[in-house]
Structure 1
Amino acid sequence: MKQSDLFRENADNCLQLAERAGGEPAFRRYRRMAQGWSALAFEQDWLDGEIKPIGDRKEVALHD
């Protein structure tokens, strides 16, 4: 299993813990942890060469 997949599993686990959290502070804490794990997974994919650096990506224009 790739390292980034393990990070995504950790993010999913944190989201599950957030759903079962006993209060708002715990909910927010688990959500922030999930965001951190997701960011690590994205970074690992970049380090592994699975995604292009931002400068090499085509810009996508968003229209209202």
Structure 2
Amino acid sequence: MKQSDLFRENADNCLQLAERADGEPAFRCYQRMAQGWNALALQQDWLDGEIAPLGEPRTALPK
């Protein structure tokens, strides 16, 4: 499994926790954590050469 996929799984777990959160502060915290994991996944995809750098069209790079 790719590292970026693991990061996306963590993001999904955070979103599930957000759905069950008891109160708005916890909900927002889990939402921000999910955003962070998704950002890490995108960065890892870039490091792995799967997407173009920011500012360029977000298409897969040729291998």
TM-score range, shorter chain: 0.7 to 0.9
Larger Rg: 1
Q: 1:20 to 1:52 in 2, by over 3 A?
A: same
- Distance in 2, matches of 1:56 and 1:38, equals 19
Q: Which 4+ runs in 1 deviate beyond 4 A?
A: none
In structure 2, give the amino acid aligned to 1:19: E
**C-alpha RMSD over aligned residues:** 1.3
Determine what percentage of the aligned residue pairs are the same residue. Answer: 81
Aligned residue for 2:28, secondary structure, equals helix
Q: Say which structure, 1 or 2, has more relative contact order (CA 8 Å, 6+ apart).
A: 1
In structure 1, give the amino acid aligned to 2:57: R
Aligned residues: 58
Query: Equivalent residues in 2 for 1:1-64 (5 A)?
Result: 1-57=1-57
Q: What does residue 61 of structure 2 align with?
A: none
Deviation at 1:53, TM superposition (A): 1.3
TM-score if structure 2 supplies the norm length?
A: 0.86
In structure 2, give the amino acid aligned to 1:22: D
In structure 2, give the amino acid aligned to 1:29: C
TM-score if structure 1 supplies the norm length?
A: 0.85
